[in-house]
Structure 1
Amino acid sequence: MLPFSQAAENNKGPLFEVLSQYLTAPGTLLEIGAGTGQHAVWLAPRFPHIHWTPSEQPDYLDALLPRLAAEPAANLGPAVGLSVQDDAAWPDGPFDYVLTVNTFHIMSRDQVMHCIDQACRRLTSGGRFAVYGPFRYGGQPTTDSNRRFDESLRARDPAMGLRDQEWVVARFADHGRALLGDHAMPANNRVLVFG
């Protein structure tokens, strides 16, 4: 049995619909936190004009590699071990696209800032960075379920938790990247796209 995420299975279709608006030109994509690999193996073949590089923390590569081996695609590259705060671990790039799904709320604020910084350094001038996950708006979760989720994350680790959308937008603005889209997704999630 391959590692499996029901959330990834549920959101891959809606995620494809949003990404189709932005991943239009041929190029290269870095996926940060590829998890079980379900997004990589399903999305990459649907964007044959994009070379897809999945990455994951070294300790979690064992959950990613079996699916990549079981479901190869011509444009799906080998997985990269990546800890976002380890500058030396980042692939050189440049990348035309960066995608991360359900990672910002399990990273600390410093890790999110470092991720944005390092990814933007490797993103081409016209590149796009898409971030999927739950966010707070105006300092508040958007639903009761997101509030409970936020509280459970912070109880597990005070460094984790839903990020304020406005704070994330400001961090990208620090690197000259503007918010191009903010899309509603299943289960009270969003996709923020920067470029």
Structure 2
Amino acid sequence: MRAVTLLALTRSSRALSMPPGGYTSRTMDPNAGAVDAQNPAKMLSPSCDRNKAAILSEYLTILPSSGRALEVASGTGQHVAHFAAALPGVRFCPSDLTTDAFGSVAAWAEGLDNVEAPFAHDCASVSDWAKLEPKSFDAVIVANMCHISPWMVTEGLFTGAAPAAGFRARPRRVDTSTTPVGAARVLADGGRLCVYGPFTTGGEHTSESNADFDRSLRARDPSWGYRDIERDLGALADKAGVALLKRIAMPANNFLLVYARCATEE
């Protein structure tokens, strides 16, 4: 079986004031200062505890039972430890935008032989994606990132660091119209891209609380906000060469979107 990559890009559950072009990861949790009473090296994110079981239950049916998994934006490390414990045949490689919480990732992963040391990875960086071997992974999984980061980050996920109009971004060194990066570059033919989080669908929010949260995000940073499944992600999927296979309704008005990479000639 080909290697499996688990790319779990996650977000802050609190809207933080950040400059345009910046984006958050699970490290920027509202309770980022909280630690485990038994092991202070373990940072705690209540949102991870709330959603990890529901996410894992779907991953168990989507991901193969063996291979190699890459988690991006690992944050505290709670997710990767939970997933790795349930999928001992998959070797997980956690990563994050910064190294700030790598000690926590290691603490949560202690005793798990299938979790590698984390490394720094920027989803909006062409050069970072280019470091990963093309078509080498069977799955890319993203959790709670799209709405709490600039649009260029979601573009980077699907097709490779294409900056949104009006944002200052690092110079592009790769023509992504002919040389894909992001999930479009690293997914094997038939590989899965799984995107978890809150979205609008058909231009509508799924609840009034989601609409309120979306407005609060945009008020704090105009580059943030809910993305639309059909209008926004659909366009990126077409550009990236991935097709939507499943749209799974999740607890708390979230979705898990499962895309498959279309086969391409070598």
Structures share a fold, TM > 0.5? yes
Output the amino acid matched with 1:68. Answer: A
**Residue 163 to residue 64, structure 1, CA distance change in 2 (3 Å):** farther
**1:164 positional shift:** 0.3
Name the residue aligned to 2:64. Answer: 24
**1:31 positional shift:** 1.8
**Contact in 1 for aligned 2:105/2:118 (Cα 8 Å):** no
Name the residue aligned to 1:77. Answer: 116
Output the amino acid matched with 2:71. Answer: E
In structure 2, the gaps of 5 or more residues are 1-34, 36-41, 160-181, 261-266
Correspondence 1:88-127 to 2 at 5 A: 88-90=127-129, 91-93=131-133, 94-117=136-159, 118-127=182-191
Name the residue aligned to 1:12. Answer: 52
Output the amino acid matched with 2:210. Answer: N
- TM (normalized to structure 2)? 0.68
Size of the aligned set, in residue pairs, is 193
| Structure with the greater alpha carbon radius of gyration | 2
**1:25 positional shift:** 5.0
Task: Choose between structure 1 and 2: higher helix proportion.
Answer: 1
- TM (normalized to structure 1)? 0.92
Name the residue aligned to 1:187. Answer: 252
Name the residue aligned to 1:144. Answer: 208
**1:157 positional shift:** 0.4
**1:102 positional shift:** 0.7
**Contact in 2 for aligned 1:65/1:79 (Cα 8 Å):** no
Name the residue aligned to 2:82. Answer: 42
**1:173 positional shift:** 2.4
Q: Give deviations 1:128-156, integer Å, cap 9, x for gaps.
A: 11111000011121101110110111011
In structure 1, the gaps of 5 or more residues are none
Identity %: 36
**Contact in 2 for aligned 1:29/1:99 (Cα 8 Å):** no
**Contact in 2 for aligned 1:40/1:54 (Cα 8 Å):** yes
Output the amino acid matched with 2:137. Answer: F
